[in-house]
Chains A and B, each alone.
Chain A
Amino acid sequence: MSGVFSDPGALSRHRDVLVATEDTRHKVVAVCGGTGCRAQGAMKVFDALCTEIDAHGADRTVGMRATGCHGFCERGPLVKVLPEGILYEHVQVADVVEIVEKTLLGGEVLERLLCEDPVTGQRYRREEDIPFYSHQRRIVLRDTGQLDPTSIDDYIAAGGYSALVRALEMGPTAVLEEVKRSGLRGRGGAGFPAGRKWEACRSAAGELRYVVCNADEGDPGAFMDRSILEGNPHSVLEGMTIGAFAMGAREGYVYVRQEYPLAVEHLDLAIEQSRALGLLGDAILGSDLSFDVRVSRGGGAFVCGEASAMMASLEGRRGVPHRRLIHLSEHGLWGRPTNVNNVESWANVPLILLNGAEWFRAIGTEGSPGTKIFSLVGMVNNTGLVEVPMGMTLRQIIFDVGEGIPDGKAFKAVQTGGPSGGCLSADKLDVPVDFDTLVAEGSMMGSGGMIVMDEETCMVDVAKYFLRFLASESCGNCTSCRDGLSILHDLLGDITEGRGTRETIALVEELADTVEATSLCALGTSAVNPVLSTLRYFREEYLAHVDDKRCPAGVCKALISFSILAERCNGCTLCAVRCPQDAVVGEKKQPHTITQELCIKCGICKDVCNRDAVLVQ
């Protein structure tokens, strides 16, 4: 480290030195250190690799990095060998010696560790050949799988903080114009044009103003912001610093969930490193820009992602939304002009400054430029974190990037926009994914959750699941949201348990209408989306539950029964042995039957049957 950078030149000289050092290394091994891969033992693999490389005396020629999330969490732990881009999946400590001796020192590719195509079984040599990656456009996530997020030098060597230098040269007005021209829209859900928000904050009256990074990502199954903060915290800090420069703010906050310990750790470290190099603090890079960032940890309330609740929480009050007739950009944190953008929006800012607004506009669609990161989860072959240009269709994301539904099952629905998004049916697969189209179809972009469901999913049950989450995350202020959502949950429970009638459905619709029309914040007004969208696209399924007391997907236990098809059963006794209730009876090599009074509908018999003889109806 070279002390504080007194001017942009000092930063670029430092970068030159770093790049020259990197050049002496022939190979770099990037082990995914994202939360998913860590949970699967990636750090043990990393330690073993370091030890093995040292043992071979190769530490001068092989660089080691524990990076951020590579996105392909399904296949973790992931190990990437650069510059070739060889990607190994499911790497275990036992594989380490072979990787070092054959691939790193011998230049040989280990066929058995290469990523396997779930459909064709083909193994791909390089990362960019894998369909999961080849259909993506990774710009924000480009470096998360390459850099060591705990090293500011890695970020600087990769060109980090040169967007800030460019911003300082351009001046605040030109920076603002560039962001406005880029058409960047807020990635947190609402999709409000960032440039317009910045302009309002910049021109609001007052000496003090704040920039805030919303990292209160609370959607079940979503980990976009988490991965950026864990894998590339400096990109967010650089974006915030550029924003602060354009808006004239001296202080910034990152509001991050307490449940993201690794993100907090990496962010804290990044802030410390930036301060040490004078990239945060007074007179940044010798300019008259002074800016510093503090981390504020939230207690895990979903509602604190709502901006007015977040302001309350940042100020030390209970995180409850309140009416905002005056925009936060004029009257925000402690009554000062405040700009809030989410993690992904901030991480886009350096890219826009560096490559220009035209480059950014060329990606994505006219109304929604750029890319969007989704956490693609559920019943899809390739689960993980994906970044695609806006305007890509749901079909392309699910069937090209995600490579379809496992076990040859049929696609049924996809839920976009997190818990309060909507469920779209198969006939909406060719809908382009951008802010406006999704809303028009009764769903929303949200912050980027994407949950794929197959034919064995009951949509009433899905709506009930999301309502339970939202009812428990409602702050409890508004009668309509607090009590309305829990009643809606109970009413859907009536339907899934066979007590529902057509009147129940009518009451659900009537109550949902009031919750949507009379709740204060977006949590309440959008919370009914899962119910209304499933009623819109899967009404027959609701009707089957109430009219025929039948769950077509075979999920709702009160409405299904298990039986054994005599013509298929060969009496192997596997189900009888595994049944926890001893409900399956029958002689060996004779068709078995299920005693309905004993059956608890756990589904084990269906799972273990090799002959597909268990019928659910």
Chain B
Amino acid sequence: MDVELIIDDVPVTAAAGASLLDVARCAGRDVPALCHHEAVPAIASCRLCLIEVRRPGRDWVQLTTSCDYPVSAGLVVVTNSPRIRKHRGMNLELLLRRAPDAPVLRQLATQFGVTRARFAPVTDAPLPDCILCELCVRVCCALDYNALAATGRGHDKRVGPPFGRTAAKDCVGCGSCVEACPTACIPMADTATTRTIWGRTFELLTCVRCGRPITTKAHAAAMAAGADLPVKSTDLCEVCKARLTSERLASPRR
């Protein structure tokens, strides 16, 4: 069901229940967020996507995060105000302690005028530059591998293999976590034939035509098992699959 709301004085129509962050961004508003990905549930961890919202029938304005705020009819939303900038700036300053060199944070700092570093950087994090947003964990769980988890509390919160393991037992080496990580802090090293990630080394599956690596053999097997397909179905890389298709189309036998 579509509902009407107002974002920064502009009437907007959106699907009820959609993430207010997605809706605001679709409406062309620049709302920063590091822990948000439309494919996984929001946990509102980074606290940057702050907005001000007034619900119909209420006379007070609430400062809140937009990624986990479901759209409903009659909301009046402001995405930029002195109050928002003040708190967003402070949370950005806090995140910069954890990932002072991450390009995405440097860019946001410039954009939002955060020039000071008043707090000592975090030096004891096992995963430098990690902002603990759990996108890696959420992506891994959404793919049903459940190889990663958030553990610990407060300053000691960690993401990675659960139960204090150094190697992620259920990891298949798909690299989706690396793809999702906003600060690119997850180490993944590929050679011509192997991939090392989360304390494990996987054999790579190479394309039968061109020899380029496709993904790990473990990942291919997991995908084939999940889709109930023979493992063979994934032995071509994307480029060769496309080429093969065009070759077939061009084939005179057709």
Q: Which of A183-191, A434-442, A467-475, A595-603 contacts B (4 or more CB under 8 A)?
A: A467-475
Contact B157 A482 (CB under 8 A): yes
How far is B45's CA from A320's CA once the two chains are assembled, in angstroms?
11
Task: Given the known inter-chain contacts A323-B44, A476-B150, A518-B47, please indicate yes or no for A483 contacting B155, CB distance below 8 A.
Answer: yes
Number of A-B contacts defined by CB within 8 Å? 93
Partner of A474, one of B68, B87, B120, B153: B153
Q: Is B163 an interface residue (CB 8 A)?
A: no
State the interface size on chain B (CB cutoff 8 A). Answer: 35
Contact with A along B41-74 (1 / 0, CB 8 A): 0011111101000000000000101001110000
How far is B120's CA from A507's CA once the two chains are assembled, in angstroms?
13
Contact A477 B45 (CB under 8 A): yes
Chain B residues, Cβ within 8 Å of A483: 94-95, 97-98, 122, 155
Chain A residues, Cβ within 8 Å of B43: 320, 322, 477
How far is B97's CA from A63's CA once the two chains are assembled, in angstroms?
65
Chain B residues, Cβ within 8 Å of A479: 45-48, 91, 94-95, 131
Contact A486 B68 (CB under 8 A): no
Q: Is A610 an interface residue (CB 8 A)?
A: no
Partner of B94, one of A322, A487, A513, A520: A487
A window 495-549: CB within 8 A of B: 507, 510-511, 513-514, 517-520
Chain A residues, Cβ within 8 Å of B120: 490
Contact A486 B155 (CB under 8 A): yes
A window 455-497: CB within 8 A of B: 471-480, 482-487, 490
Contact B153 A480 (CB under 8 A): no
Q: Is A318 an interface residue (CB 8 A)?
A: yes
Partner of A322, one of B47, B68, B95: B68
B window 210-228: CB within 8 A of A: none
Contact B95 A476 (CB under 8 A): no
State the interface size on chain A (CB cutoff 8 A). Answer: 33
Closest Cβ of chain B: how far from A522's Cβ, in Å? 14
Query: Which has the most chain A C-beta neighbours within 10 Å: B63, B131, B154, B155?
Result: B154
How far is B120's CA from A490's CA once the two chains are assembled, in angstroms?
10
Q: Is A301 an interface residue (CB 8 A)?
A: yes
Who on chain B is nearest to A490 by CB? Answer: B120
Query: Which has the most chain B C-beta neighbours within 10 Å: A320, A477, A519, A520?
Result: A477
How far is B203's CA from A507's CA once the two chains are assembled, in angstroms?
51
Contact A514 B87 (CB under 8 A): yes
Q: Is A303 an interface residue (CB 8 A)?
A: yes
Contact A476 B157 (CB under 8 A): yes
Task: Given the known inter-chain contacts A482-B157, A486-B155, please indicate yes or no for A518 contacting B69, CB distance below 8 A.
Answer: no
Q: Is A17 an interface residue (CB 8 A)?
A: no
How far is B70's CA from A484's CA once the two chains are assembled, in angstroms?
27
Closest Cβ of chain B: how far from A125's Cβ, in Å? 50
Contact B87 A517 (CB under 8 A): yes
Q: Is A20 an interface residue (CB 8 A)?
A: no
Partner of A301, one of B48, B86, B153: B153
Closest Cβ of chain B: how far from A484's Cβ, in Å? 6
Q: Is B6 an interface residue (CB 8 A)?
A: no
How far is B153's CA from A510's CA once the two chains are assembled, in angstroms?
24
Q: Is B114 an interface residue (CB 8 A)?
A: no
Contact A511 B90 (CB under 8 A): yes
How far is B94's CA from A485's CA once the two chains are assembled, in angstroms?
11
Chain A residues, Cβ within 8 Å of B95: 479, 483
Who on chain B is nearest to A471 by CB? Answer: B154
Partner of A473, one of B94, B118, B153: B153
Contact B132 A482 (CB under 8 A): yes
Task: Given the known inter-chain contacts A472-B154, A483-B97, please indicate yes or no for A518 contacting B45, CB distance below 8 A.
Answer: no
Who on chain A is nearest to B95 by CB? Answer: A479
Chain B residues, Cβ within 8 Å of A518: 47, 50, 63, 65, 87, 90-91
B window 99-137: CB within 8 A of A: 118-120, 122, 131-132
Chain B residues, Cβ within 8 Å of A472: 153-156
Chain A residues, Cβ within 8 Å of B184: none
Q: Is B28 an interface residue (CB 8 A)?
A: no
B window 150-187: CB within 8 A of A: 150, 152-157
Q: Is A1 an interface residue (CB 8 A)?
A: no
Who on chain B is nearest to A477 by CB? Answer: B45
Query: Which has the most chain A C-beta neighbours within 10 Å: B47, B87, B90, B98?
Result: B47
Closest Cβ of chain A: how far from B172's Cβ, in Å? 22
Who on chain A is nearest to B44 by CB? Answer: A520
Who on chain B is nearest to A326 by CB? Answer: B70
How far is B150's CA from A478's CA once the two chains are assembled, in angstroms?
13
Closest Cβ of chain B: how far from A111's Cβ, in Å? 52
How far is B48's CA from A518's CA once the two chains are assembled, in angstroms?
9
Who on chain A is nearest to B155 by CB? Answer: A486
Who on chain B is nearest to A472 by CB? Answer: B154
Query: Which has the most chain B C-beta neighbours within 10 Å: A473, A507, A518, A519?
Result: A518
Chain B residues, Cβ within 8 Å of A513: 87
How far is B70's CA from A301's CA once the two chains are assembled, in angstroms?
29
Chain B residues, Cβ within 8 Å of A486: 154-155
How far is B91's CA from A443's CA once the two chains are assembled, in angstroms?
26
Chain B residues, Cβ within 8 Å of A476: 132, 150, 152-157
Partner of B70, one of A325, A471, A475, A511: A325
Q: Is B149 an interface residue (CB 8 A)?
A: yes
How far is B153's CA from A473's CA once the two chains are assembled, in angstroms?
6
Chain A residues, Cβ within 8 Å of B46: 479
Closest Cβ of chain A: how far from B50's Cβ, in Å? 6
Chain A residues, Cβ within 8 Å of B83: 517
How far is B94's CA from A486's CA once the two chains are assembled, in angstroms?
11
Task: Given the known inter-chain contacts A323-B68, A479-B131, please indicate yes or no for A484 contacting B94, CB distance below 8 A.
Answer: yes
Chain B residues, Cβ within 8 Å of A473: 153-154
How far is B116's CA from A510's CA once the two chains are assembled, in angstroms?
14
Chain A residues, Cβ within 8 Å of B122: 483
Contact B98 A318 (CB under 8 A): no
Who on chain B is nearest to A484 by CB? Answer: B94
How far is B63's CA from A487's CA once the two chains are assembled, in angstroms?
22
> Could you pull out 13 A-B pairs where Cβ atoms are within 8 angstroms?
A318-B150, A323-B68, A472-B156, A475-B153, A475-B157, A476-B132, A476-B157, A479-B47, A480-B94, A486-B154, A514-B91, A518-B50, A518-B63
Add 17 more A-B contacts to A301-B153, A475-B153, A477-B44 (CB < 8 A): A320-B150, A322-B43, A323-B69, A474-B153, A476-B150, A476-B153, A479-B46, A479-B94, A480-B47, A480-B87, A482-B132, A483-B155, A484-B94, A490-B120, A511-B90, A517-B83, A517-B87
Q: Which 9 A-B pairs have the closest CB atoms?
A: A476-B157, A514-B90, A474-B154, A483-B94, A486-B155, A323-B68, A479-B47, A514-B87, A472-B154
